[in-house]
């Protein structure tokens, strides 16, 4: 199974996204998924931290998995898990939102951070500079993806669409 962020635009409205995140984690890995909301021309992460410091609410939403599927070997040994996260719609101006994924490994001090910025046209991003990569996360625009990509990630996309429809 691959790790994927897939999104589409309900009713083809620009800037209106449904986002699904599927993370295929190893037995020592832990995921943290955040949604940052910025305002006033500031970077969403900076704005959220400033609001919290001033006691004016949170610009950060820590997401919990919508679904977790554990994997075990034939001999009941932990083989990791798959976590699915859903964002049914972006609540704010899409140009001021940031989706951030951290992958931590219990055995390693450094962690992986992927950041994805939303705009009216699409979602862009990936592995942050100077971050290490435990798992590759593929970003897929379901409205514009090539057939080859849709076939390659068919199983992951199917699971994400099902999770988004249930929410």
Place of tokens 């609540």: 91
CB under 8 Å to 62, separation ≥6 — which residues? 32, 33, 34
Query: Are residues 154 and 6 in contact, defined by beta-carbon separation less than 8 angstroms?
Result: no
pLDDT tens by residue, 138-147: 999 999 999 9
pLDDT digits (tens, 9 = 90+) for 74-114: 666 768 899 999 986 665 566 667 899 999 999 999 999 99
The pTM assigned to this predicted structure is 0.85
The predicted-structure confidence for 118-160, as pLDDT tens digits, reads as follows 888 889 999 999 999 999 999 999 999 999 999 999 999 999 9
Q: What percent helix, strand, coil does the chain show, rounded to 5?
A: 20, 40, 35
Centre a 10 Å sphere on the Cβ of residue 90 and count the other Cβ atoms it contains.
20
Domain of residue 86 covers 3-166
Tally of domains in the chain: 1
Rounded to whole angstroms, how far apart are CA atoms 64 and 148? Answer: 31
């Amino acid at each position: 199974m691959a790790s994927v962020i897939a999104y589409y635009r309900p009713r083809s409205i620009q800037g209106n996204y449904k986002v699904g995140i599927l993370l295929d984690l190893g037995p020592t890995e832990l995921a943290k998924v955040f949604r940052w909301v910025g305002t006033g021309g500031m970077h969403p992460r900076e704005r959220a931290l400033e609001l919290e410091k001033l006691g004016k609410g949170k610009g950060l939403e820590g997401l919990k998995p919508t679904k977790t599927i554990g994997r075990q070997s034939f001999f009941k040994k932990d083989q990791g898990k798959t976590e699915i996260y859903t964002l049914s719609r972006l609540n704010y101006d899409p140009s001021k939102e940031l989706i951030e994924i951290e992958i931590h490994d219990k055995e390693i001090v450094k962690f992986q951070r992927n950041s994805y910025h939303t705009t009216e046209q699409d979602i862009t991003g990936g592995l942050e500079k100077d971050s290490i990569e435990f798992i590759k996360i593929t970003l897929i625009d379901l409205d514009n993806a090539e057939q080859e990509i849709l076939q390659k990630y068919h199983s992951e996309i199917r699971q994400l669409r099902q999770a988004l429809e249930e929410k």
